[in-house]
Amino acid sequence: MNKLTILDNKWMGQPRTIAAALLESEGHRALVDPGPGSTLETLRQQLQTHGLTVRDLDAILLTHIHMDHAGASGAMVRENPGLRVYVHKIGAPHMADPSKLLASAQRLWPKELQRLFGEMLPVPEENLRILDGNETLLLGSRKLEVVYTPGHASHHVSYFDHQEGIAFVGDTAGVRIEGHAYEMPATPPPDIDLEIWDSSFAAILERKPSRLFLTHYGYSESPAEHLLRFRERLHLWAALAEKSVRAASNDSAAMDAFMSVTHAEIAQHLPPGEVEHYVFSAGLNLSFLGLARYLRKRAAAAS
């Protein structure tokens, strides 16, 4: 019997912000995106409520290596040396040696990195299982198709359980807190690419999942409608970022203008208490930085 459980990591004490998916099948147990090192103790507690420990897990399935998704992996392998960590080939070197990833994150969060994400330990190379996309993983009796879905990150993959109709899409479908209808882009640097992202939407839709599982946060029950709305907003936000950059006198002013407009848009769609929840989950400033970098790269390529 296959079982799927949402484990709420309660990032920074905020429920329904980062979800790990516990997949169980015939004694095999895997986690999709365990979360950051800062929530590892909460993850342990969540596992314990289901009678499990980190040592009872067989595999970690990473959609991508950003710290809010993958940061706890190395510490979990230290706790369970037999744990297999599945990751795309572009992201794998940074799991084995996260120093460049940590240096990049330090530039984005110069004062808060440790508080937000905790420690990120390396994963020994012998524990890594390298993915290209197009693999089929057998976890107990559960079969998962691995699909390469870049756009949010160059190393992003999604996992499809066709028997149950669930697609574990990481950040490819944005932020949508379960219980609300608003889909919010999360576009942090360094490798946002909207043209490639469009092809990932197509890859998801081709497989006709009945539900999406989003790390931020939970299920979306209407994948086609979700992805249509999200794609429109993603391209709208890119246009807003471009307009802000052109109109502002400097990068700081451009970011302020972008954040003002997008924050007002979010507030039109959500009750007051959820507006800051969404903003916290994705980080509006990071979304601007990622889109601005993408626009600069696109302009350079065009010239």
The answer to whether the beta carbons of residues 35 and 18 sit under 8 Å apart is: yes
Side chain identity, residue 221: E
Q: Report yes or no on whether pTM surpasses 0.95.
A: yes
∠ CA 222-2-152 to the nearest 5 degrees?
A: 45
pLDDT, one tens digit per residue, over 50-94 is: 999 999 999 999 999 999 999 999 999 999 999 999 999 999 999
What pLDDT does 33 receive?
A: 98
What pLDDT does 72 receive?
A: 98
**Edge-to-edge strand list for the sheet holding 128-131:** 2-8, 19-25, 28-32, 59-61, 84-88, 128-131
What pLDDT does 141 receive?
A: 95
Mean pLDDT across 204-208: 98
What pLDDT does 54 receive?
A: 98
pLDDT band at residue 1, thresholds of 50, 70 and 90? confident
pLDDT, one tens digit per residue, over 130-175 is: 999 999 999 999 999 999 999 999 999 999 999 999 999 999 999 9
Q: Please provide the average confidence, as pLDDT, over all residues in the chain.
A: 96
pLDDT band at residue 272, thresholds of 50, 70 and 90? confident
Which helix (H) or strand (E) segment holds residue 2: the answer is strand 2-8
In the chain, the domains with their CATH numbers are: 2-221 (3.60.15.10), 231-302 (no CATH)
